[in-house]
């Protein structure tokens, strides 16, 4: 996934602080909690993202909201910095870049498996094991249903794409026939 250079820099900064504190998971959860709080209310979301509200007002409001929230002090300071710099809008991107860095550090890769029908737990485990053996990393998969596949499944893990769907087979047959005719 691509992250803006700015989001990447912020993510690296807070990740390094979290790593030094030996609390990378706790900091990630805290950042996600903040994001969830900001997104929960349309009014808060509009306030934080509004160009009409001065950065100082946003900053004061965010500081007051998270001051006694029980978040790690570094996370509170980080969120305050984002508010002061007018960067709260990129928090979701920062969290995604942070998660990617955490995954990279731990030898984890994430992917998406789309299938025409729901997979059983056994099938999900087999898919994760197969993709782990191919990538030589622990694979965390998200599963989605996609009726447009007609049958079969697709898997996207990092730069690896596997497409064993009926729609892909039909497309390949069509391309092959088109080449033979021309």
pLDDT tens digit sequence for 24-47: 999 999 999 999 988 887 787 788
Q: Is the CB of residue 67 less than 8 Å from the CB of residue 83?
A: no
Token pair 């890769």 is found at 109
Q: Say if residue 10 is in the same domain as residue 95.
A: yes
Find tokens 């087999």 and name the residue.
Answer: 126
Q: Where a domain ends, among 40, 68, 103?
A: 103
- The CATH number of whichever domain residue 26 belongs to comes to 1.10.520.20
Looking at the structure, tell me whether residues 60 and 139 fall in a common domain: no
Retrieve residue 55's tokens. 């950065």
Model confidence at 175, in pLDDT bands (50, 70, 90)? very high
Number of Cα atoms under 13 Å in the Cβ half of residue 149: 18
Taking only the tens place, the pLDDT of each residue in 113-123 is 999 999 999 99
27 and 96 co-located in one domain: yes
**Structural domains of the chain, count:** 2
Statement to judge: residues 83 and 14 lie in one domain:
yes
Domain containing residue 131: 108-181
Q: Which of 76, 103, 130 is the last residue of a domain?
A: 103
List C-alpha distances in Å: 3 to 6, 32, 67. Answer: 8, 17, 29
- At residue 86, the pLDDT reads 82
């Amino acid at each position: 996934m691509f992250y803006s250079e700015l989001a990447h820099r912020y993510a690296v900064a807070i990740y390094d602080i979290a790593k030094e504190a030996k609390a990378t998971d706790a900091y990630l959860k805290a950042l996600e909690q903040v994001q969830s709080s900001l997104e929960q209310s349309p009014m808060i979301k509009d306030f934080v993202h509004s160009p009409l509200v001065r950065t100082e007002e946003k900053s004061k409001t965010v500081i007051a909201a998270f001051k006694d929230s029980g978040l790690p002090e570094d996370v509170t300071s980080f969120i305050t910095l984002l508010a002061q710099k007018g960067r709260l809008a990129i928090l979701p991107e920062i969290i995604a870049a942070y998660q990617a860095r955490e995954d990279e550090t731990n030898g984890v890769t994430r992917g998406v498996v789309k299938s025409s029908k729901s997979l059983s737990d056994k099938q999900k485990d087999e898919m994760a094991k197969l993709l782990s053996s191919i990538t030589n990393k622990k694979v965390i998969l998200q599963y989605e249903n996609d009726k447009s596949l007609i049958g079969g499944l697709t898997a996207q893990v990092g730069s690896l794409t596997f497409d064993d769907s009926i729609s892909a087979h039909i497309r390949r047959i069509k391309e092959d026939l088109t080449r033979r005719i021309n």
